[in-house]
Amino acid sequence: MRNAAVFPGQGSQVRGMGRSLGERSAEAREVFDTASAVLGWDLWDLCTRGPAGELSDTSRSQPAIFTVSHIMFRLLADHGWQPDLVTGHSLGEFTAAVAAGALSFQDGLRTVAERGRFMARAAARNPGAMLALLGVRCEELPRALADLGRLGMIAPANYNCPGQVVVALERKVLEAAKRELAPLAKRVVELPVSGGFHSPLMEEAQREFARFLAQVPIQRPRTPILLNVRLAVSYDPTEIRDGLVAQMTAPVRWEEAVQRMAALGVGTFVEVGPRDVLTGLVRRIAPQCRAVATDGRDPQEVVSELGRGDGG
């Protein structure tokens, strides 16, 4: 069976993330120091002591999640673990591109920081929000969104797993959406994000980001990447660049991505990041597969668990 590294996106941040890695690994602290020098602010302090509000800010949370996930991947590699395939959820695609060797860490971090800045600016100019629909009746959702669309922009942003869809919407539609979508789902939860991501509300940010990314060198990766927008495995730098731009306004098709990887023979999914957000989704999408979260644990413990075949 093949194994895949999957990298999380925004929303997986948590105060204190990366502390245990940095305290027991000089290599991890060196990466934090490098990241702080690239960013121009103290990433270690933000991750380990920063207020939750600041850590949830798009321009801060994206570099933080990216760096902590990258550190964990490097430490797993130091202990002998390498995936056969990589992919990521939203921001996680950039971490995956670095893990695969398509981007250097420094270029990836600069790219993520600029992406977060463009997205935050677009969110300020086009106020938006995101609602998670849990236990939603998906067959009824298109009609409901079309009806709400008369009030303003609303569109699917994440297809996370069976019965779980996230929608992005203009803030002026928020209260009506909560009211009208409630009968279709077991729960409607407003997410703690600062904009309507993966939707047309990010078109301005996408144009700015495309110009920036055009100047960033992208190499042929050592490990294949599953691109979320196309649901295709790629080694091609042009396809990777195009996919990273396209995903800014396109919905995250995570359910289909996991199904695609399982069809390609992936039997073990390893979530490389600060929490276990994707692990639960994988277990719902592909219960026949094994899903393991690194979740800030000792990398040697994770690699040993993978070698034993337990803990799925």
Catalytic residues: 90, 198
The residue written with tokens 């800030």 in the block is 296
CA distance 2 to 85: 8
Task: Give the number of C-alpha atoms closer than 13 A to the C-alpha of residue 290, restricted to the C-beta side.
Answer: 18
For residue 298, the Cα-to-chain-centroid distance in whole angstroms is 22
Q: How many residues does the chain have?
A: 312
Of 119, 165, 176, the C-alpha closest to 140 is 165
Token pair for residue 237? 């730098």
In this structure, which amino acid lies at residue 42?
D
From residue 257, alpha-carbon distances to 4, 159, 222, 260, 266 in Å are 12, 10, 20, 5, 11
The residues that bridge with 4 in the sheet, in sequence order, are: 85, 269
